[in-house]
Structure 1
Amino acid sequence: MPTDAAVDALFLPIREGRLSWPADGALFLRARAGALQAREWPGLICVQSFRPAFDALREGGFDVRAEAEPSRTWPLVLLLPPRQREEARALLATALGYLAPGGRLVLAARNDEGARTHEADLSRLAGAVSVLSKHKCRVAWTAPLDGPLDPALAAGWRALDAPRAIADGRFVSRPGVFAWDRLDAGSALLAAHLPADLAGEAADLGAGYGHLAAALLERCPRIARLDLYEAEARALELARTNLAAQAQRVPLGFHWHDVGVGLPRGYDAIVSNPPFHAHDRDARPDLGRRFIAAAAQALRPRGRLWLVANRHLPYEAALAEGFAQVRTVAQRDGYKVIEAVRAP
């Protein structure tokens, strides 16, 4: 199984005997499998809203959910905090609310992903913490708690993650979602070049909060159906809100799905701004290539893919392999817009 330094660090206090594993199990927020074995951790409930990580946990035999059970509390809560500060603070405050009386919270992060900041934030809510450093990570855990030491601060931090209006009220978004506080420049460039003659059944791969899908429906009146595929459940719920008005005139599908494993049906047109970073922010051009392969397999004869990507990303070979015609439509501000057409 692949290693994950933050996961290894998170479980270090338990493996070393500094903390004991509760008989009632534990809650693991933003869980990742890493090299963990499910049988080692009886009663562990994993929560993960990112579909590829969710699927990896499930395939590893873990009990995994998209959301935590809101009414249940735990003697031990484990957390891999996200990088975005507001999202991380909101999740940290929420995690403390899942503790049973006398419970402990443990978090871990890589040093280059804000480990000291997360440790400091935990101290602000929970008082003095114990700390270990290993695997270029820091792991911090609380004393037994009966909730956050500063309930007012915790309540304020929980609200940091609340959905809010962006782009002059055109969309609702929230911290942690891709380009959460703006219209992404690459997606905006693609939206501006979408041709009005795209028609039939369409899909948006990596739909985020729905920016590209909304543009497609506005610019292309002959779209008869649109399916949105998004790996992050938090973003997909925002897309449902942002496209509620369009759903009155065009059938819409919202799919919590890892595009990299392929699509379940065929389409006449596909739009996409593929991801090119993994959860740890390392560059992953293979993700975009997998999106291109999935689009090529799902498009019907003469089906069209409209794609935007950073100009330096090496997608040309994947496009040439899957499509009969490929052309660069526009290049600006470090982005390229490409149209690719399936063979007849």
Structure 2
Amino acid sequence: MRDAAADDALATLMLPFEAGPLSWPAEGGALFLRARDGYPLHRQPRPGLVCEQSFRPEAERLERSGLTLREADGDGAERYPLVLVLPPRQRSESRALLARAVAACAPGGRVLACVPNNEGAKSAEEDLRLLAGAVGSLSKHKCRAFWTAPLHGPADAALLRQWLALDAVREVADGGLFSRPGVFAWDRVDAASALLIEHLPGDLRGRAADLGAGIGVLAKAVLERCPGIESLELYEAEARALALARRNLADARVPVGFHWHDVTAGVAGGFDTIVMNPPFHGQGRGERPDIGRRFIQVAAEALRPGGHLWMVANRHLPYEQTLDASFGEIRVHAQRDGFKVVEAVKARGRGR
């Protein structure tokens, strides 16, 4: 029986080296885009492996394993005889990443990718074929690994250039925000955040934080709505989103801090106001209400006594017990379209 926590895509990605027909490069190393750590990556020596990962929890796991990381969305100057990639679900981002992988291949190099069957494996394989020509493949663990022949440039150079541009930063929300494919609700203000913004009061004051800030949608609204806010700290685990938040808040009227950080590990304290639309999925498809519960606990720890949390969440998620245990006063201000807006006040006799 397989471990329920096993990373099937990573295990399948490594199979061509363990069962043939591929060999790890003797020289020149390999680049791993959207890298994840796990036992399959360590079953055999992987000399010269360089990893790229923009999601902070995964990057930290790679670092703890002693693997070499480079900055995500690197300049692409270096070429490798092997480029590994775990493409994301979002199609434009996936195509851009496959194009980056082909562009990063040294002459005679290969691209090897893997996608779960229920996340578009056949489509991703066809995308790589369009870019690079004929591909080989194998299937295992309900995933599909597929790889190119030795490459000497793309099969379609024009398509490569077109797909590299798919992930470009652009203006969305009628020009009010900068965004790009792959980040949460990348081409719009999501309905949950819009509902929270609609109900935010204008009298929030003092030191504020946005936990899981994304591209800065809530943070921007807080600064526009609440003149009493004196400073604002954004905490976001996805580096690609945080870079966009910097751009979206470039003209902020107060000091703003940007932290590439996993909120579940805790944040600094002393805040008067916290806003958040906490994630309720991990890197997979399944719901993870434990993440939202941990966000609530972290918010309670980081607020001063009497401080206010304003959050939005899916109405069905079981957060009430955690809110009751962490805060002195809770009010539901709105319920609409499957979401709820909650204000929670930290009891004055609790904590820091």
Q: TM-score, normalised by structure 1?
A: 0.97
Counterpart CA distance in 1 for 2:327 and 2:47 is 48
CA RMSD of aligned residues (A): 1.3
**CA deviation profile, 1:47-85 (whole Å, cap 9, x unmatched):** 000111111111122112332452111000000001000
1:267 counterpart = 2:271: yes
2:49 is matched with 44
Deviation at 1:113, TM superposition (A): 0.6
The separation in 1 between residues aligned to 2:70 and 2:335, in whole angstroms, is 41
Q: How does 1:60-139 map to 2 (within 5 A)?
A: 60-67=65-72, 68=74, 70-139=76-145
> How far, CA to CA, are the matches of 1:69 and 1:9 in structure 2?
28
Per-residue deviation at 1:176?
A: 0.5
1:225 is aligned to 231
Tell me the distance in 1 between the aligned counterparts of 2:52 and 2:68.
9
Looking at structure 2, the residues matched to 146 and 230 of structure 1 have their Cα atoms a distance apart, in angstroms, of 39
The answer to whether 1:323 aligns with 2:323 is no
Aligned 1:1-344 pairs, distance under 5 A? 2-23=5-26, 24-38=28-42, 40-67=45-72, 68=74, 70-246=76-252, 249-344=253-348
Displacement, 1:37?
4.9
- Equivalent position amino acid for 2:306 in 1: R
Letter in 2 for 1:30: R
- 1:291 maps to amino acid: F
Q: Give the alignment's TM-score, normalised by structure 2.
A: 0.95
Give me the identity figure in percent: 61
Residues 54 and 66 in structure 1, CA contact (< 8 A), matched pair in contact too: no
Q: Which runs of 4+ in 1 moved over 4 A?
A: none
- Structure 1: state its 5+ residue gaps: none
- Match of 2:39, SS state, is coil
For 1:229, what is the secondary structure of its paired residue? Answer: strand
CA distance in 1, matches of 2:21, 2:216: 45
Letter in 1 for 2:78: R
1:174–1:180: 8 Å Cα contact kept in structure 2? yes
* Partner Cα distance (1:70, 1:293) in 2: 40
Contact 2:14 2:40 in 1 (8 A): no
Deviations 1:179-238 (A, max 9, x none): 001110100100111111111100001111111001000111010000111111111111
Instruction: Report if the CA contact (8 A) 1:201-1:268 is conserved.
Output: yes
Q: How many angstroms does 1:280 deviate by?
A: 1.8
Provide the rounded CA distance (Å) in 1 between the counterparts of 2:152 and 2:237: 35
State how far apart, in whole Å, the 2-side matches of 1:60 and 1:303 are: 39
Tell whether the 8 Å contact from 2:14 to 2:41 is kept in structure 1 after alignment. Answer: no
Shift, 1:282, TM fit: 1.7
| Deviates most, 319-328 or 180-189 | 319-328
Letter in 2 for 1:217: L
Name the stretch that deviates more: 230-239 or 56-65.
56-65
Structure 1 letter corresponding to 2:25: P
What letter corresponds to residue 16 of structure 1 in structure 2? A
Supply the AA of the counterpart residue of 1:286. Answer: D
